[in-house]
Amino acid sequence: MAFKWTEGEHRSGNILDADEFNNSFNAFKGEINGGLDRENLPNASISNDELASNAMVKYVVVPNIRAQDTSVLDLEWADTSPGTVTQEYIAISYNTYAGGWKTNSAYNIGVSSAEIFQEGMLHLEFNCWYFLRNHFANGGFQIWCQFQILVDGTPVVTSDRQHQNVGQIHLVADVPISTGSHSVQIRWRITPWPGSGAMDDPVFYYDGGQLTAINRYR
């Protein structure tokens, strides 16, 4: 803690030597060179004009997050002709997904490049839309998807299991954070292959994702 400068004044009639002057001056100099704090600065003296634009927070926004390792895949619908109607999708299939959590390796904060945070709170938001080929009409193929936000590899918020054919994910978490490098990632999972249905059908995709971190300093 800094103190208000209390070195004595040079008195009239004293013989001024270098050390005496240096001591008194350096005490003053030390306060100016990085020692000012609330003991020196008047109450209510700093207004918006004096605050640097990033004085209290740091923002990181990772836009355009979407599913990785996707392929162009066909989905077929039977009609009464009899025949089929086919449509292509960008999605993953059970040919490449065997179950379990999958971390998005392409979009993150602090993994691909270091991101330094300051001690304080970290507000996190993740938002995306998804497509899930959620079931067959006969009800024998009910699946779900789920998302998480990870901070340094630890889940801090988990979505409920989503069962609709399309939908919106919105995850929010506020966590205390220490000074230094940290990583923020998102990961997802869906029901493993249920044992029926074509393995090369499109089954899941997400896009339009944004991962936002707002670090408010202590």
Partner 1 sequence: MSTISTTNFEAGETTNRTDANNKFSAVATATGSINEENVRSEGIDRRTLTTVANGRTEPIVFIDYDDRNNSAATTHAAQTGESSVVLSNVALDMTSSPVTVKAGDLIRIHYTAMLTSINDGAYATFGAAGNNGGSRSSNPADAIGVVFFPTWQLSSGGAFSALTNEANWLSSLTAPAGITINNTTAKSDSIAFCSMEGVLDTNCFPNRQVHGCWNYKHTGADITLYQIQLNMRGPMVYQYTGGNRVFYAPTWNALRYEVTCMDIPASPATNFSIVVGNAQLSLTVMRGDS
Of residues 97 through 116, those in contact with partner 1 by CB under 8 A are: none
**Site for partner 1 (CB under 8 A): which residue of 98, 137, 154, 176?**
137
Residues numbered 147 to 206 that lie near partner 1 (CB under 8 A) are 164-168, 170, 201, 205
Rounded to a whole number of angstroms, the minimum distance from the CB of residue 144 to partner 1 is 13
Amino acid at position 109, single letter: I
Site for partner 1 in 116-135 (CB under 8 A): 125, 127, 129-135
Residue found by looking up tokens 């069962």 in the block: 163
Q: How far is the CB of 148 from partner 1 (least distance, A)?
A: 17
Q: Is 89 in the site for partner 1 (CB under 8 A)?
A: yes
| Residue of the chain from 144, 175, 183, 207 that contacts partner 1 (CB under 8 A) | 207
Using CB under 8 A, which of 3, 7, 28, 180 touches partner 1? 28
Q: How many CA atoms lie within 13 A of 107 on its CB side?
A: 25
Number of residues that bind partner 1 (CB under 8 A): 82
Q: Does 93 bind partner 1 (CB under 8 A)?
A: no
**Taking the complex as a whole, how short is the minimal distance between the CB of residue 31 and partner 1, in angstroms?**
8
Q: Which of 46, 101, 112, 181 binds partner 1 (CB under 8 A)?
A: 46
The candidate with the shortest Cα–Cα distance to 67, out of 167, 161, 207, 210, is: 207
Cα distances from 126 to residues 33, 58, 66, 137, 202, in angstroms, run 42, 17, 12, 32, 24
Q: Could you give the CA distance from residue 40 to residue 32 in angstroms, rounded to a whole number?
A: 10
Give least dist CB 20 to partner 1, A.
10
Task: In whole angstroms, give the CA distance from residue 49 to residue 57.
Answer: 16
Secondary structure (3-state) at 112: coil
Nearer to partner 1, 18 or 98 (CB): 18
The closest of 105, 76, 101, 104 to 192, measured between CA atoms, is 101
Chain CA centroid to CA 157, Å: 12
Q: Which lies closer to partner 1 via its Cβ, residue 64 or residue 153?
A: 64
